[in-house]
Structure 1
């Protein structure tokens, strides 16, 4: 039987080390892959055939609010994601759940909670602190719209939200400019937007309350 592989995506080396220690205490023979940025996360997703779980910080370099969670769910929908964040605002926890996370661990939690959460999720369950924020219909609609985008289209959308022109997006993502144009047209149609600005506002809506 293959070892359980967990991808820990967080830009703080000391915190990653603490998570690694907690995982090894909780699981026998666990294999941990580390990523310190969104680009490293994307590379790991492309490189690693088997990933059983992702522990995801929301504020790594290259992330924009919940964008890395949305990207992850689009790229590898079969892999469960647990958000691990210092922003434990009830709305942030609820939004992470609505955008596809199966768990949320506040960084202030004791190390044992990480092990308990991981075991629960690997057994097919979920792990959230008691939720006091109500589900948001707007978030549900946004999640549904974004789920229509391919991973490549979502990358284009993030670049578009950064104010890049098609030519710049093409250079950034290694695509032909005409391909970017086709993607932008498809993105606007799928999101029900009439302009790039409207699409950028949707990405802005992914940013959680407070500091993550």
Structure 2
């Protein structure tokens, strides 16, 4: 039986394990390896470049998913990559595909969508579901986040930072992803907390949850 090697690159262990279980449904002979960051993933590929598919999160520590896609495209051009991310707005989808991804799946999607995407890419196709790339940007959650930010008169930059805070990202992670200094991110976070009338990130997340946002 021919084995299909899939490398999952995701820093949250529960998400990694859940994806590995889901990808077992792709077919017989599927073997999933796991890496918590880009450095570990690249080391695994250097040791054995015979990989059928990479499943990449965008918000990775140290080297983010966008940068990793660029590195993969140059060093391992024959290895396709599927992005699975909570950052599923049109800009992020476009940027990921431009960086070399062969497909994009929102973390809000069903497991069936993930399986379909993997099968499509393994067959040599490209997967960009209408729900992600359609006229609406395909993401009600994104619009809800923007409405929440506008409600508390947050700037566009503060709204973007708040989305990443809601995903549990540290100031350093947010700074690397948005191309800002860590000090600037701290200023944004402090301003956000003041605008929301809270004193901690946990309280801010609770407010977002009560407002019906996906956190």
TM-score range, shorter chain: 0.5 to 0.7
Checking the alignment, whether the CA contact within 8 Å between 2:49 and 2:76 is kept in structure 1 is no
Shift of 1:69: 0.9
Q: Which sections of structure 1, spanning at least 5 residues, go unmatched?
A: 134-202, 206-212
2:148 is matched with which residue? none
Shift of 1:73: 1.1
SS at match of 2:82: strand
1:200 is matched with which residue? none
1:105 is matched with which residue? 105
Output one character per residue of 1:83-129: Cα deviation in whole Å (capped at 9) or x when no partner.
11100011110111111111001111111111110000111111113
Looking at structure 2, the residues matched to 68 and 34 of structure 1 have their Cα atoms a distance apart, in angstroms, of 15
Change (3 A) 1:64 1:24: closer
SS at match of 2:20: helix
Change (3 A) 1:65 1:117: closer
Change (3 A) 1:88 1:2: same
Shift of 1:65: 5.6
Checking the alignment, whether the CA contact within 8 Å between 2:57 and 2:65 is kept in structure 1 is no
1:16 is matched with which residue? 16
Relative contact order (alpha carbons < 8 A, sep ≥ 6): 1 or 2 greater? Answer: 1
2:76 is matched with which residue? 76
Change (3 A) 1:36 1:113: same
SS at match of 2:88: coil
What is the RMSD computed on CA atoms of the aligned residues? Answer: 1.9
SS at match of 1:84: strand
Shift of 1:64: 3.6
Change (3 A) 1:31 1:65: closer
Under a length normalisation based on structure 1, what TM-score does the superposition of the two structures give? 0.60
SS at match of 1:66: helix
2:126 is matched with which residue? 126
1:66 is matched with which residue? 66
Shift of 1:25: 1.4
2:47 is matched with which residue? 47
Checking the alignment, whether the CA contact within 8 Å between 2:24 and 2:30 is kept in structure 1 is yes
Output one character per residue of 1:148-193: Cα deviation in whole Å (capped at 9) or x when no partner.
xxxxxxxxxxxxxxxxxxxxxxxxxxxxxxxxxxxxxxxxxxxxxx
Looking at structure 1, the residues matched to 65 and 51 of structure 2 have their Cα atoms a distance apart, in angstroms, of 23
